[in-house]
């Protein structure tokens, strides 16, 4: 290995633990032993059960995903990035690997022979202590306050993992050999069996395959409705189809399904599908028992809340939960999904309580979350952004109808504010008559924005195009969406304006790869991670998905995932945007919880060298996606 290459390796390694504790002489000596491996995307570094290699690895470029083969292909235990170590287990135990490592993108790895490294450990107690603590605590970097990373999969028997209150990768324990009945059995028979065995649910099966679930709630509902014929068949009251999971399912997956579908039970089958044999049943009680502090418990609390003070407590509990998730290093998709579902439930309950106070609405309406809430990306206590659409009324009733909804919106906004959500400085709230309108008025407003594009109208589109119904009638928001997409179809001039706005903020690196920071004002010398990094990805995803005419995709990640499906030739670009969005969102969320702020501005001097490099790496997809936008919408000619 030539000296210049050895020096380059040494310069890289000294940026990261534990190599930064080595002397210059030892580091240079180690660098002479390093071998460079190129790993193509989706190739394995090692597989679970493989014999131990004679070397461990440091990621120099790219990203390597770690997972257990019992997990689904999309669930990663951890993602190793620049400077991260993997494959260290054989240093302490000459065994097979406990998980598999796969290149999530093209990777360059530095392979360090164990024999060469062991020689250095004899004279470097700090390095040895670091590695022993790392192995004992099952983390790649035990000194880090956040994102420590895992060394072992969750099926490895570690007392530290078993004691972790927030280890959502542990396997969910289910009731085996559940009691099953056929759909021809009667409701009376089901009630008798449930009472006899003191259980709250039964699986309805045909030929050992699940076709439905009956719970004690279903039977109580049947009695309450006056359907007292004890000979009614279970097929008339069962919930169907059944949501199924495989035996080796993890708590994170179970919680996600229960939250998403608002159900209380899952059927466990041999392969996780409805077409395989029943082996067990999982209830939300099982999850609550396994994790006392969990999002399902918060949802249950929200349903029972009747006072604003209780909502405030739940909102604080959610913040604590999300902060703990981030510190534990849980994947951002899961953290954001939990936040989205609980925040929506919280907002829904606020509206219900406000309706009880103000009185029944005169006509049907929909409360719309806009901006980050509409995209389901609100992790922190940011400003309020919302709107209200009500069904059309005769002219003579409009004033009184709008007055009612403005009063309702003022009450809702007041409670939101008391929960910690600041009033929007630009007054983009449903309590503003400009954004509390009938369906026809909203259609006209969107038509004006689309048909007469300008810098101001594009700004409004960027805010109001990302809306989601929080409460009320689906049909009103559906009709509004259909109107918008009719106006957008084939409107290349509008997309050119929208595309131009999406590329106005280039990747935030200047000459010599220096961060572009704020040069004046209260945030002088700080980095605006929202405007300079997150927003370009959000806006790119929006203009691309709208140009494809795809409805119902408001979330930035879901938009990029749909674009991968539509344009597999651009998968690498869109996948890079997804990864960058998660990295940047984590930086912002961690900063926000640490400073009790919106997390928008990062003080770069407080970041480690590895965090700065990770931040810089997340900017490349911004450059790639903006180049794609310029080509697709011919922005070089338009600008």
Please report the pLDDT score of residue 162 as a whole number.
32
pLDDT in tens, 394-409: 999 999 999 999 999 9
Please report the pLDDT score of residue 236 as a whole number.
87
Q: Which residue is it, tokens 């059944």? A: 242
Q: Indicate the SS3 state at residue 536.
A: helix
pLDDT in tens, 285-314: 766 655 545 676 777 778 777 777 778 888
Average pLDDT over residues 594-599: 86
DSSP E strands, 349-499: 365-370, 386-390, 436-438, 467-472
Per-residue pLDDT band at 171 (split at 50, 70, 90)? low
Radius of gyration of the chain (CA): 28
Please report the pLDDT score of residue 302 as a whole number.
84
Q: Distance (Å, rounded) from C-alpha 71 to C-alpha 123?
A: 40
pLDDT in tens, 616-634: 889 999 999 999 999 888 8
Per-residue pLDDT band at 131 (split at 50, 70, 90)? low
Between vectors from CA 184 to CA 181 and to CA 185, what angle results, nearest 5°? 55
Per-residue pLDDT band at 431 (split at 50, 70, 90)? very high
Q: Which residue is it, tokens 């049943």? A: 281
For the chain, the 3-state helix, strand and coil shares in percent, each to the nearest 5, are 50, 15, 35
Q: Distance (Å, rounded) from C-alpha 396 to C-alpha 398?
A: 6
Quick one: tokens of 236? 């008339």
Please report the pLDDT score of residue 154 as a whole number.
39
Average pLDDT over residues 377-399: 91
Reference 508, options 398, 428, 626, 400; nearest CA is 626
pLDDT in tens, 190-202: 988 988 887 888 9
Q: Distance (Å, rounded) from C-alpha 17 to C-alpha 347?
A: 44
Beta bridge partners of residue 202, listed in sequence order:
214
Quick one: tokens of 292? 């006392």
C-alpha pair distances (Å), 124 with each of 17, 27, 118, 451, 492: 13, 11, 10, 69, 64
Average pLDDT over residues 127-152: 54
Between vectors from CA 292 to CA 289 and to CA 298, what angle results, nearest 5°? 115
Average pLDDT over residues 441-451: 93
| pTM score, whole prediction | 0.60
Lowest mean pLDDT, pick from 45-49, 197-201, 345-349? 197-201
Quick one: tokens of 252? 């994170």
Q: Which residue is it, tokens 């009731």? A: 175
C-alpha pair distances (Å), 198 with each of 70, 173, 215, 224, 230: 32, 19, 12, 21, 20
Q: Are 537 and 581 in contact (CB under 8 A)?
A: yes
Q: Work out the mean pLDDT of the chain and round it to a whole number.
A: 83
Please report the pLDDT score of residue 95 as a whole number.
63
**Residues above pLDDT 90, as percent of the chain:** 32
Average pLDDT over residues 441-469: 89
pLDDT in tens, 539-586: 999 999 999 999 888 899 999 999 999 999 999 999 999 999 999 999
Please report the pLDDT score of residue 598 as a whole number.
84
DSSP conformation class of 71: S
Lowest mean pLDDT, pick from 5-19, 61-75, 205-219, 223-237? 61-75
Q: Is the pLDDT of residue 14 over 80?
A: yes
């Amino acid at each position: 290995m030539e000296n210049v290459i050895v020096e380059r390796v040494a310069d890289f390694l000294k940026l990261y633990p534990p190599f930064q504790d080595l002397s210059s002489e030892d580091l240079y000596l180690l660098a002479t032993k390093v071998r460079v491996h190129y790993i193509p995307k989706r190739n394995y570094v090692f597989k679970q059960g493989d014999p131990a290699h004679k070397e461990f690895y440091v990621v120099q470029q790219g990203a390597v995903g770690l997972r257990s083969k019992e997990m689904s292909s999309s669930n990663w235990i951890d993602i190793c990035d620049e400077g991260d170590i993997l494959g260290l287990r054989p240093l302490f135990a000459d065994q097979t690997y406990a998980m598999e490592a796969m290149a999530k993108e093209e990777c360059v790895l530095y392979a360090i022979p164990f024999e060469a490294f062991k020689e250095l450990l004899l004279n470097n107690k700090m390095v040895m202590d670091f590695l022993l603590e790392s192995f004992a605590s099952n983390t790649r970097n035990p000194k880090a306050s956040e994102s420590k990373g895992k060394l072992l999969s969750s099926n490895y028997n570690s007392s530290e993992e078993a004691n972790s209150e927030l280890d959502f990768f542990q396997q969910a324990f289910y009731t085996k050999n559940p009691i099953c009945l056929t759909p021809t059995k009667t409701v009376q028979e089901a009630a008798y069996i449930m009472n006899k065995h003191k259980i709250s649910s039964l699986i309805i099966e045909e030929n050992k395959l699940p076709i439905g679930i009956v719970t004690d709630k279903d039977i109580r509902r049947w009695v309450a409705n006056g359907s007292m014929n004890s000979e009614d068949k279970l097929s008339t009251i069962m919930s169907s189809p059944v949501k199924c999971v495989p035996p080796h399912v993890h708590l994170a997956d179970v919680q996600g399904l229960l939250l998403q579908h608002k159900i209380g039970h899952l059927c466990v089958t041999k392969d996780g599908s409805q077409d395989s044999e029943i082996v067990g049943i999982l209830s939300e009680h099982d999850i609550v028992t396994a994790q006392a502090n969990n999002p399902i418990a918060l949802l249950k609390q929200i349903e029972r809340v009747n006072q604003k003070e209780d909502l405030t407590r739940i909102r604080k509990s959610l913040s604590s939960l999300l902060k703990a998730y981030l510190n534990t290093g849980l994947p951002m998709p899961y953290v954001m999904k939990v936040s989205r579902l609980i925040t929506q439930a919280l907002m829904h309950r606020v509206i219900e309580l406000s309706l009880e106070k103000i009185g029944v609405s005169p006509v049907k309406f929909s409360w719309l979350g806009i901006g980050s809430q509409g995209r389901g990306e609100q992790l922190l206590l940011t400003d309020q952004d919302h709107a209200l659409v009500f069904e059309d009324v005769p002219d003579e009733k409009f004033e009184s109808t709008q007055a009612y909804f403005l009063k309702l919106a003022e009450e809702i906004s007041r409670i939101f504010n008391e929960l910690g959500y600041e009033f929007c400085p630009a007054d983009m709230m449903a309590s503003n008559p400009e954004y509390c309108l009938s369906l026809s008025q909203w259609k006209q407003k969107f038509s004006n924005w689309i048909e007469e594009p300008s810098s101001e109208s594009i700004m409004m589109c960027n805010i109001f195009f990302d809306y989601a119904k929080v409460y009320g009638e689906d049909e009103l928001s559906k009709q509004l969406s259909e109107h918008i997409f009719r106006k957008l179809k084939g409107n290349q001039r509008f997309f050119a304006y929208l595309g131009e706005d999406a590329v106005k903020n280039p990747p935030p690196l200047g000459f010599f790869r220096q961060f572009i920071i704020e040069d004046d004002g209260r945030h002088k010398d700080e980095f605006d991670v929202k405007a300079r990094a997150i927003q370009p990805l959000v806006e790119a995803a929006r203009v691309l998905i709208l140009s494809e005419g795809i409805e119902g995709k408001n979330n930035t990640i879901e938009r990029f995932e749909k674009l991968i499906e539509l344009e597999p030739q651009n998968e690498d670009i869109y996948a890079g945007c997804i990864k960058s969005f998660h990295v940047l969102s984590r930086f912002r969320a961690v900063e926000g919880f640490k400073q009790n702020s919106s997390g928008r501005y990062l003080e770069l001097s407080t970041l480690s060298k590895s965090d700065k490099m990770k931040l810089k790496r997340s900017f490349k997809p911004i450059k790639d996606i903006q180049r794609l936008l310029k080509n697709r919408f011919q922005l070089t000619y338009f600008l």
